[in-house]
Structure formats: C-alpha cells, structure tokens
Amino acid sequence: MTISDTSDAPGIDVASTNSPAFHIGPYAVRPLRPAMPVLALAPMAGVGNWVFRLICAQLGARLVGVEFINCRLVHQTGQRMARLLDFSDADVYRRTGISLLAAQIYGNDISMMAAGAAELERRGAQVVDINFGCSVPQIIAKGSCAAYLRDLPRFYEAVRATVEAVSVPVMVKTRIGWDEDSINIVEVVERAQDAGAAAIAIHGRTVMQKYDGLADWDWIRRACDNADVPVFGNGDVRTYEDALAMSERTGCDGVMIGRAAMANPWIFSGRLGASLTERIELAIEQVGWMAQYKGERVGVQETRKHLVLYFRDLERGSAERQRLLTTATLGELLEFLEQWRDSLQQDEERDLGLTVAEATRLAWGGTG
C-alpha cells in the first residue's frame, strides 16, 4: 500500500461518522466503531515516525503523536531534524479524515516553545501538543517538561503563549503530579483549559514514579470530572480490554496508547492481536515504507524492533526468527516474508498484548 491509496486502509470505517463525537478545536473526533472508545497513539521517542503513525492511523488511531521535539532545535537544518519534522502523513489525514497529526514540542524557554509550535503548524501539524510529562532527570533539570508541574504560573504562561502563537488547537500531555505528596492534576487541568488548551492527555503516574508501580486511574477520573475539554487517559493500557476498562472507570473521552501499540497496532481496531498472515503483511508494508523514509540499510534495521514484538511468539531458535533478525537487505527480507506468508497452511489470531514485564522492558525513562 502506498501513501496515495491509503484511504482504502484497513480499519477505516465510514459508519463511524454516526458515532458520538467530541471536539478538539474545530475537529470532530469519533471512535472507529460504535461502543469503542476513541483511541490515540501516544508520542514516543524513537518510535513515532510517519511510518508507524500512518500504520496506526490505518488501523484506527484517531490521533497520532509525533515524537517530542526540542524547541531549541526545531529551526535547525540537518538530516536528523528533517526526519523528525517529516510529516509526510499529514496530507493523508487532511484528505481522508482518518486521524489527526499531533506534533509535540518541549522546552524551557516559553517564547522559543511558542515559536517552535508555530513551525510545527507550518509544517502540517493539525494539533500542537506540549510535553509536560517527560520525567528524564537531565531534561527536568533544565526546566523542561515535567519541571513545569512544580511551577503552575509558569505552566499557565507556557500554554497561553503557545495557544496565542498558533491557529491550530493546542493540547498538553502531563502526569498526575510530581510525587505522591504533591498530586495536583485537578489544578493542572484547570490551569491548562483556562490558558486555552483544547485537550489534555494524562499519564496516571507521578513524575517520580516514571514507569514504576501502577498508574492511578482514579486521579484521571477526578481530572475528567473537573475538565471542560476532552481528556485522554494514559498508563497501564497493555491490551484492548485495558482500554475499555480505562474508558469505563475514568470516564475519559479517549485512551492514549503507547508501548502496547508497538507490539500490537491492531489494538486501534479493537483487537487483542492478529493472525500470522496479517502480521507478515504488515511487516512487508512497514519495512518498505521505512526503507523509503530512512534508506534501505537503516530502514531495515529500525523496523526490526517492531518485528521482534510482532513475532515474539516464535521460538528463539526458529529459522523464521533468525531470518527476521539477520537478513540485511530489503529485497531479501521482502522475499523471505512473502515466501513465509505464502507457505502458511493454518493460521489463527494470536493475542499480542504485553505482559507487565514486557511493558516495563519497553519503557525508556519517561517521555510522558
């Protein structure tokens, strides 16, 4: 499947236009199907490139997050920044309406953050997202991201300046508070919406928790009870059943999914997993797009982190797993995948939900 024909992508359900909607600014956001929650792809460093965003949008993610971008770097030239700012998928969403592109900015200089947000809008972002949740110590020490939760007047100023700098909706992604003794998410929600934020995503852990312990969904519920704008719940959603449970327990408008989507992008279709054939076909599409995005060598290498997760039910010593991990060229990998798919005789859907241990291994320091 090419970008130009992705309007026929699996998971796009025109019947969903009859489902109840909430609004992020001018955009009506509806679930893929009635009785499903609205599901969104969380911004993830090293993962949220246009290829993975588009795959998740095809499968039903109604909002897809760009990995966070430092406001001090957004105007720089160079290959790395060009790739971060590659919003090749944005036109697809504008044309088809299958998703919204939310580009995430962070920084410790409010005026630079506002200017960076304007640049993200210029490049095609339909929503600008401010990261107030990253718990990486080096980033917090510089006054960025979760550091704002300890200075709510500064938090308000950052949101307000960004809202005034762009014409697209602004959302914020945050955590429930700094630590157990200073949970302030209800006030954070009030400050954010007073400053003009159009939506809020809440990870149910404190900054000090990073990814340890359990996400506290009760605080997400309390925030939802006090919010006048849509709220996305986030944290400890490892399966589609978890997404349903979060929606029911918290009353959140949408559920934002991060690590679980890396292993099971079909979660956005309301599925627990996929058949082997489906996984192989997705791998063929993904590695082809990644080669287009980053070149053959790097594209193949970077796709492997997904392939290991999609096919983690394979025995460690199996021939198929060895080929997935060692085949170096795009042509050879595509040939292997196609032959493997064509040789299958029995195929059934497998549960691709993450265990707690698997989810913990995928955490990398807390980007929100």
CA 77, CA 81: separation in Å to the nearest integer? 6
Helix (H, G, I), strand (E, B) or coil at 276: helix
* Cβ burial, residue 31 (10 Å; 0-12/13-18/19+): buried
CA 194, CA 223: separation in Å to the nearest integer? 14
CA 244, CA 38: separation in Å to the nearest integer? 10
Q: Could you tell me which of 18, 46, 23, 52 has the C-alpha nearest to residue 33?
A: 18
Is 145 catalytic? The answer is no
Number of residues in the chain = 368
DSSP 202-229: EESS-TTTTT-S---HHHHHHHHHT-SS
The DSSP code for 183 is B
As a dihedral over the C-alpha atoms of residue 185, residue 191, residue 193, residue 194, rounded to 10 degrees, the angle is 160
Q: Annotated catalytic residue: which of 71, 134, 145, 252?
A: 134
Q: What token pair was written down for 61?
A: 């993610």
CA angle 58/60/64 to nearest 5° reads 80
Q: What token pair was written down for 136?
A: 């990486």
CA 98, CA 13: separation in Å to the nearest integer? 9
Q: What token pair was written down for 36?
A: 């499903």
Contacts of 331 (CB under 8 A, 6+ apart): none
Catalytic residues, which ones?
134
